[in-house]
C-alpha cells in the first residue's frame, strides 16, 4: 500500500515516520522542512523511549513528484485546506482513499465536496505531538488513532489501514460512528486548545491547576457532551472525567493551537469552535461558554494578522 502524507507538521511527520519504519511505502510532501529532512531524516522523540531516526526520507516539494498513492494521510490544518485543491490531484488514482487526520468538524465534508469520487476516512489523533524543530517531532504522551468511515470506505479496507498503524506501534481502533468520535475528541480540543490561547498562553497543567480555568474546561466539556447526546451519539458518562485524568498525565503540554498562535500562524477557529457552535445552535442546545470562547478566539485570530501557511 503506497501512502502519501500531505501536511507534514507534527501529526503527519510522526505517523508517516512510524509507518515507514514498520515497512510501509511512505512519501511525504515537504515544504519548509524539506532541506532538514532530506539531509538528516526525521527524528522522532517518543516519551520514555529512545529517539529514533527515519533516514532516508522519501520527501518531495511537489505532489507531482510523489506520484499516485493508495492512501493519502491529510494532516494539513483546516485553515490551509483550500491548498488541497491543487495538492491532491497528482496523488489520486481511481481508488485512492483519503484520510482526514485533522481536528474539528467539517474536514470530511469539505473533502467529500471537492473530491466526490474518492472514499473518505476520518482519523482522530489522541497524541501530544509537537514539532520542536525542522524534522523533529516530540510525542509527550498517548498517540492512539481512531478511524471511522465517512463515505465509500469499505470496512475491510479500514481494518487493513488500522492493521498497518498497529504494526507500526500505533494503537488504532475502528469506530462505528465517526461523528461520535469527532465530538468525543472535541470535548478535549474545545476547552484545552481554546483556553490555552484565550488565557494568554497556558499549557494544560496550568489550566488544570487553576480552579477557574479548570471549571471552565469542565463546563465546556459538558456543553459538548450535551450536543453529542442530543444527536443520540454514544458519549460515555465518565468521558469528561477520563479526559481530565488523561490530561493530568500530559505535564506541561502546549496544545497545537497555542503553538500555532504563538508562531503567528492562523488557528483552526472554524473547524474546532465555529462549526461545532453552529451545529449546537441548529440543534437548539445551549452552549454559552462555547459561544464566548469562539467569539474571543475569532477576534484573537483576526488580530494576530496571520495568513494560512503550509508547514
d(CA 171, CA 153): 20
* Residue 292 binds a copy of itself, judged by CB under 8 A: yes
| Rounded Cα distance, 12 and 7, in Å | 6
Question: From the list 296, 308, 309, 310, which residue makes contact with a copy of itself (rule: CB under 8 A)?
Answer: 296
CB atoms within 10 A of CB 228: 25
Q: Any bridge partners for residue 73, and if so which?
A: 5, 99
**Does residue 70 touch a copy of itself according to CB under 8 A?**
no
The rounded distance, in Å, linking the Cα atoms of 244 and 247 is: 5
Length of the chain counted residue by residue:
311
Give the number of residues in contact with a copy of itself, rule: CB under 8 A.
26
Residue 281: Cβ within 10 Å count: 14
CA of 158: how far to CAs of 59, 120, 147, 148, 154, in Å? 25, 10, 7, 8, 6
**Does position 97 bind a copy of itself by CB under 8 A?**
no
**213 lies in the binding site for a copy of itself (CB under 8 A):** yes
Confirm or reject binding of residue 288 to a copy of itself (CB under 8 A): yes
Residue from the set 202, 225, 228, 272 that interacts with a copy of itself by CB under 8 A = 202
Residue 310 C-alpha cell reads as 503550509
Q: Which of 90, 219, 234, 308 binds a copy of itself (CB under 8 A)?
A: 219
Q: Of 148-156, 173-181, 209-217, 240-248, which segment contacts a copy of itself by CB under 8 A?
A: 209-217
Interaction between residue 303 and a copy of itself (CB under 8 A): yes
Contact 178, 155 (CB under 8 A): no
Stretch that binds a copy of itself, among 12-20, 117-125, 233-241, 294-302 (CB under 8 A): 294-302
DSSP calls for 212-279: HHHHHHHHHHHHHHHHHHHTT----TTHHHHHHHHHHTT-SPPPHHHHHHHTT----HIIIIIHHHHH
Considering just the CA atoms, what is the radius of gyration of the chain in Å? 18
What is the smallest separation between the CB atom of 236 and a copy of itself, expressed in angstroms?
Answer: 23
SS (H, E, C) 63-115: HHHHCCCCEEEECCCHHHHHHHHHHCHHHCCCCCEEEECCCCCCHHHHHHHHC
Whole-angstrom distance, CA of residue 73 vs CA of residue 5:
5
218 sits near a copy of itself (criterion: CB under 8 A): no
If binding is defined by CB under 8 A, does position 208 make contact with a copy of itself? no
Of the candidate residues 19, 216, 258, 267, the single one contacting a copy of itself (CB under 8 A): 216
Tell me the closest approach of the beta carbon of residue 200 to a copy of itself, in angstroms: 4
Q: Does residue 185 carry a catalytic annotation?
A: yes
Q: Candidates 89-97, 113-121, 160-168, 291-299 — which segment interacts with a copy of itself by CB under 8 A?
A: 291-299
- Which of 144, 185, 241, 309 is catalytic? The answer is 185
In whole angstroms, how close is the CB of 265 to a copy of itself at the nearest point? 15
47 binds a copy of itself (CB under 8 A): no
Task: List, by residue number, the catalytic residues.
Answer: 185
Binding site for a copy of itself (CB under 8 A): 195, 198-202, 206, 210, 212-213, 215-216, 219, 288-289, 291-296, 298-300, 303-304
Amino acid at each position: 500500500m503506497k501512502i502519501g502524507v500531505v501536511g507534514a507538521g507534527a501529526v503527519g511527520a510522526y505517523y508517516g515516520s512510524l509507518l515507514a519504519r514498520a515497512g510501509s511505502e511512505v512519501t511525504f510532501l515537504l515544504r519548509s522542512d524539506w532541506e532538514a529532512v532530506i539531509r538528516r531524516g526525521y527524528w522522532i522523540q517518543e516519551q520514555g523511549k529512545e529517539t529514533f531516526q527515519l533516514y532516508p526520507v522519501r520527501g518531495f516539494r511537489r505532489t507531482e513528484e510523489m506520484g499516485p498513492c493508495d492512501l493519502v494521510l491529510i494532516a494539513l490544518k483546516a485553515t490551509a485546506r483550500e491548498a488541497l485543491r491543487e495538492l491532491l490531484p497528482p496523488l489520486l488514482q481511481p481508488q485512492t482513499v483519503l484520510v482526514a487526520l485533522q481536528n474539528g468538524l467539517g474536514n470530511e465534508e469539505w473533502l467529500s465536496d471537492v473530491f466526490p469520487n474518492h472514499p473518505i476516512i476520518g482519523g482522530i489523533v489522541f497524541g501530544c505531538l509537537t514539532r520542536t524543530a525542522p524534522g523533529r517531532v516530540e510525542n509527550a504522551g498517548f498517540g492512539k488513532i481512531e478511524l471511522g468511515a465517512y463515505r465509500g470506505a469499505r470496512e475491510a479496507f479500514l481494518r487493513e489501514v488500522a492493521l498497518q498503524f498497529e504494526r507500526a506501534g500505533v494503537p488504532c481502533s475502528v469506530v462505528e460512528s465517526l461523528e461520535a468520535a469527532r465530538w468525543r475528541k472535541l470535548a478535549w480540543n474545545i476547552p484545552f486548545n481554546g483556553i490555552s490561547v484565550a488565557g494568554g498562553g497556558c499549557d494544560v497543567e496550568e489550566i488544570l491547576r487553576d480552579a477557574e480555568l479548570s471549571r471552565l474546561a469542565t463546563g465546556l466539556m459538558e456543553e459538548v457532551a450535551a450536543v453529542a447526546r442530543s444527536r443520540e451519539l454514544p458519549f460515555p458518562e465518565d468521558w469528561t472525567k477520563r479526559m481530565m485524568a488523561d490530561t493530568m498525565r500530559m505535564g506541561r503540554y502546549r496544545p497545537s493551537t497555542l503553538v500555532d498562535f504563538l508562531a503567528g500562524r492562523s488557528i483552526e477557529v472554524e473547524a474546532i469552535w465555529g462549526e461545532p457552535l453552529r451545529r449546537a445552535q441548529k440543534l437548539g442546545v445551549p452552549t454559552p461558554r462555547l459561544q464566548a470562547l469562539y467569539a474571543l478566539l475569532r477576534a484573537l485570530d483576526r488580530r494576530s494578522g496571520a495568513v494560512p501557511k503550509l508547514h
